[in-house]
A = this chain, B = another copy of it.
Amino acid sequence: MSQPIEFFFDFSSPYAYLASHKIDALAAKHGREVDWKPVLLGAIFKLTGMAPLTQIPMKGDYMRHDFPRMARLFDVPVTFPDPFPFSSIHAVRTIYWLKDGDPKAANALSRTLINAAFNGRDIIKAESVAAIAGENGIDPAALLAAIETPEVKEKTKAANDAAIALGVFGAPYIVVDGEPFWGADRLDQVDRWLETGGW
């Protein structure tokens, strides 16, 4: 099988949430898997000087109109997170803790957690993440202990640094065989690239 599609996302990125509903089916259509890679955009924005969409004058207003409109187009339910953006450090650490031992479980929990975040559940608190993981067969106590270890913290930082080195400046950021596509509105181009191998 070809290498997986890298799906970089932030748990609090609205457009990554939309893309998260499409990416697995899109990959499967082309016989690919998806490697779900959460990032911490807050840290990345410090490097680029960018800001969360809602905080940018005018652009924030557009986003507040465009995002629900695009959610309707994607037929995806939304309860917009409050607060927004929110810290997803515990969620991200959880994924990188799981990833080495059970990458499939890590992907599935990524999907579950971003869905939870945009459907009225808290994923900020470590306990909230642990509760959701627990509903999905992961030991909450082991999780809560693991995400406070230096090893998992270091893995999380290394993953974010690797994403930065690759050029991930926003989300969703989708890499197909080294080719980067930014934005939920580029899924058609991802589809085409997978189909044709480039243009």
Point out the residue from B61, B70, B169 that lies within 8 Å of A58, measured CB to CB. Answer: B169
Chain B nearest CB, measured from A147 CB (Å): 27
The interface size of chain A toward B, counting residues with CB under 8 Å, comes to: 33
**Contact call A65/B180, Cβ cutoff below 8 A:** yes
Q: Does A2 interact with chain B (Cβ within 8 Å)?
A: no
**Contact call A47/B56, Cβ cutoff below 8 A:** no
> CA of A121 to CA of B185 in the docked complex: distance in angstroms?
31
**Contact call A62/B188, Cβ cutoff below 8 A:** no
**How many copies of this chain does one complex carry?**
2
> CA of A181 to CA of B62 in the docked complex: distance in angstroms?
9
> CA of A192 to CA of B73 in the docked complex: distance in angstroms?
10
Chain B nearest CB, measured from A122 CB (Å): 30
Residues of B with C-beta under 8 A to A185: 183, 185-186, 189
Q: Does A72 interact with chain B (Cβ within 8 Å)?
A: yes
> CA of A65 to CA of B182 in the docked complex: distance in angstroms?
11
The 3 residue pairs across chains A and B that have the minimum distance between CB atoms = A58-B169, A185-B185, A48-B57
